[in-house]
Structure 1
Amino acid sequence: MSKLRLGVIGAGGIAVGRHIPAFQRLKEDVTIIAVSDVNGERAKSVAKEFGIPHAYENYHDMLPEVDAVVICTPNKFHSEITVKALEAGVHVLCEKPMAVTVTECQAMIDAAKKANKVLSIGFHYRYMKESQAAKKVIDAKEIGEPLVVRVQALRRRKVPGWGVFTNKDLQGGGSLIDYGCHLLDLSLWLMGNPKPVEVTGTTYNTLSKQPGQVNEWGNFDHETFNVDDHVTGYIRFENGASMLLEVSWAANIESDKESVSISGDRGGLEVFPFKLNYAKHGMLFNSEATWIPSEEDPGYFQAKNFVDACIKGTELVVKPEEALFVSQIMEALYKSSQDKKSVQL
């Protein structure tokens, strides 16, 4: 294959804000030839804006014309469209989360194996320079074996007031499945993707169901709000490691906080901003990297890795089997909150 023919399914914000610009920068290896959206006029508008030759209302009409697709639809449709594309012999990059349920995720993996096609998931936090730096340090065993991981993905009064983010039927959840999944995936990847064995979680939406909302990211209907705006969780892994997780769209905190902190048996690190903490020579040290290479947009690296995997067989940074772990934990967190007890995996 000399040049990848790419189609984009779903013409919303993530398609025009990240994926289309990123893939168009890789013009030596890929050409975006089509975009589809259930809103046909939206598809035509985006195609015209980005100089894409074809626009479709039905993605099925696109599949015979492309070698690969990027799926940017609501979460409910991720698995169905992915399986159909793979069955048509088309490589797939699907936006996060992988799917709404673990069963749907497994169907995607099975379809990719059967078709012998590339399937990756859009967890772009792995491509951030701080994440790449942390991965190098951890893989070099500089902090030893990860023991305790603390993850915070907290926003102050920033419920997305656009799109379908607060529609449980279409998205499957709220702050956890939309935002928290990124830092959950990143943490699991940095830990070496250990197997989760027990999950305890509590979900909330009390704050966002109150009238008179103060919200920085637009308006939403508090009366119909039925997804989580705050989630806490505790995850225990087969290797003895554990994770403390807190996610929110609407926390009553001083300011937003995005943090991954990993304590190992020889040292520790913070990912954002990247720092190392360790004890040595009878002293305690905190160190910062004065320079980390690459100011490049992580969306570009994500697109390049996918294209290289399709054309050259390059190893994927985000493998579907790893993304399934993320969905498995999220599903267990929701079930634990509903049943008010821990979930054994």
Structure 2
Amino acid sequence: MRKLFILLLAVLLPGLQHVCAQKPVRIAVIGLTHSHVNWILGREDRGDIEIVGIVEPNTDLAKRYLDRHGLSMELLYPDMESLFDEVSPEAVTAFGSIYEHLEVVEACAPRGIHVMVEKPLAVSMDHARKMEALAVKHQIHLLTNYETTWYASNHEVKRRVTGQSPIGELRRVVINDGHEGPMEIGVNQEFLDWLTDPKMNGGGAVIDFGCYGANLMTWLMDGQKPVSVTAELKQIKPEIYPNVDDEATILLDYPETQGVIQASWNWPFSRKDMEVYGKSGYYIAKNNTRLISREAGESQETPEQLKQRTYPYDDPFSYLAAVVRAEVEVSAKDLSSLENNMIVVEILDAARESAKKGKRIYLK
């Protein structure tokens, strides 16, 4: 037992000492209508961030969240201007509608405040270009958070297909993301109101879940844009979702690779998985830590149970803190990077255009 305790200390102590030696990064939360905000409000106290303010005009909604997570209503501000008059955060996280991401960057960038938005980056390329210009002009980090960014399985697949891959050149990637539907899984009304609004969300399942596949595919292709995008959007449940699609299939064409993104609000179970097929084998990332592989010469699949990623790459807010402290450098090819996510929005714009016009859309 004593040897085990010493071993655990040897593994954990360097990371704990590093966190304790640093002041927490001061973070403000902008918006509470995206239910993924529970992620930051309910995370364990690692000592790397401090929530110094929360902006949400809906006080009833704010009280529900803050009471749930044991946070003081004194943190609450009705708007960003009121927050910035009293508090100076180093970074903000945006958990409102996708349409509101531009407004957050417009307020934060001139003040030199870094921004992490919940996926996707923007509601359209028009918004994305304005956000990009502000981030570049004022030299702030503008990051996009996806749940799948922190999956150990995805990063292991990426490692194995980089360079001389055991499965050869990539031929086909199938990325599946979806659930039964936001209404069916019982998201709160404030989230549902904008998630099913074509202006505030930009679409339905094509945006909500299509962005995951566009993000991962762009990453696997080392930042390369597809030659073309072809998409079909459907309304299988128009009585529930009359204004947006609830089913999307997006085909991404590259010179030697095809990407298939399947995004759905109609599946019997929630799923976020990825299948990567090469010339001589395949990898299937089933969830965060489960990987299935079959390489050349193997007679059957090999299942693997991976360990969680290590700090600060296991959590978006630890990662954000490390980026703000300049302890982690964001590469243009990274999943969270502005460069990757500009391509994501371009793919989503092209997917909507393809479905509307019924034809393939070629990217510039």
Residue 209 of structure 1 pairs with residue 238 of structure 2: yes
Q: 2:53 aligns with which of 11, 18, 34?
A: 34
Residue 226 of structure 1 pairs with residue 247 of structure 2: no
In the TM superposition, residue 248 of structure 1 has moved relative to its aligned partner by: 1.2
**Whole-Å Cα distance in 2 between the matches of residues 255 and 117 of structure 1?**
38
- Secondary structure of the residue aligned to 1:196 is coil
What per-residue deviation string (whole Å, max 9, x for no partner) do you get for residues 128-158 of structure 1?
A: 1222222222235233332211122243455
**Whole-Å Cα distance in 2 between the matches of residues 90 and 83 of structure 1?**
10
Opposite residue 226 of structure 2, the aligned amino acid is: P
In the TM superposition, residue 54 of structure 1 has moved relative to its aligned partner by: 2.1
Residue 147 of structure 1 pairs with residue 164 of structure 2: no
**Whole-Å Cα distance in 1 between the matches of residues 65 and 204 of structure 2?**
27
**Whole-Å Cα distance in 2 between the matches of residues 186 and 275 of structure 1?**
18
Opposite residue 124 of structure 2, the aligned amino acid is: T
Structure 1, unpaired ranges of 5+ = 211-219
Opposite residue 189 of structure 1, the aligned amino acid is: W
Structure 2, unpaired ranges of 5+ = 1-21
Residue 236 of structure 1 pairs with residue 285 of structure 2: no
In the TM superposition, residue 73 of structure 1 has moved relative to its aligned partner by: 0.5
Residue 311 of structure 1 pairs with residue 340 of structure 2: no
1:238-253 matches, within 5 Å, as 239-251=255-267
Give yes or no for contact 1:44–1:55 (8 Å, CA) kept in 2: no
**Whole-Å Cα distance in 1 between the matches of residues 356 and 172 of structure 2?**
26
Residue 91 of structure 1 pairs with residue 114 of structure 2: yes
Q: 1:138 aligns with which of 161, 169, 174?
A: 161
Opposite residue 233 of structure 1, the aligned amino acid is: I
What per-residue deviation string (whole Å, max 9, x for no partner) do you get for residues 99-142 of structure 1?
A: 11112112222211211111110112011122222222223523
Match of 1:322 in 2: 340
Give yes or no for contact 1:200–1:336 (8 Å, CA) kept in 2: yes
Opposite residue 260 of structure 2, the aligned amino acid is: L
In the TM superposition, residue 259 of structure 1 has moved relative to its aligned partner by: 3.2
Change (3 A) 1:298 1:314: closer
- Secondary structure of the residue aligned to 2:32 is coil
Match of 2:199 in 1: 169
| RMSD across aligned positions (CA) | 2.6
- Secondary structure of the residue aligned to 1:43 is helix
1:48-197 matches, within 5 Å, as 49-52=69-72, 53-63=74-84, 65=87, 66-139=89-162, 141-156=165-180, 159=183, 162=189, 163=191, 164=193, 165-197=195-227
Give yes or no for contact 1:159–1:229 (8 Å, CA) kept in 2: no
**Whole-Å Cα distance in 1 between the matches of residues 314 and 150 of structure 2?**
9
Identity of aligned residues (%): 21
**Whole-Å Cα distance in 1 between the matches of residues 220 and 285 of structure 2?**
10
Residue 287 of structure 1 pairs with residue 302 of structure 2: yes
Residue 331 of structure 1 pairs with residue 349 of structure 2: yes
Change (3 A) 1:92 1:157: closer
- Secondary structure of the residue aligned to 1:76 is coil
Give yes or no for contact 2:218–2:225 (8 Å, CA) kept in 1: no
Opposite residue 302 of structure 2, the aligned amino acid is: S
Q: 2:42 aligns with which of 15, 21, 28?
A: 21
Change (3 A) 1:69 1:50: farther
* Range with greater deviation from structure 2 (49-58 or 333-342): 49-58
In the TM superposition, residue 10 of structure 1 has moved relative to its aligned partner by: 0.7
Give yes or no for contact 1:260–1:271 (8 Å, CA) kept in 2: yes
**Whole-Å Cα distance in 2 between the matches of residues 37 and 300 of structure 1?**
28
Match of 1:216 in 2: none
Q: Output the TM-score relative to the length of structure 1.
A: 0.85
What per-residue deviation string (whole Å, max 9, x for no partner) do you get for residues 179-214 of structure 1?
A: 231233223323323211201111111x2124xxxx
In the TM superposition, residue 57 of structure 1 has moved relative to its aligned partner by: 0.7
Match of 2:62 in 1: 43
**Whole-Å Cα distance in 2 between the matches of residues 296 and 308 of structure 1?**
13
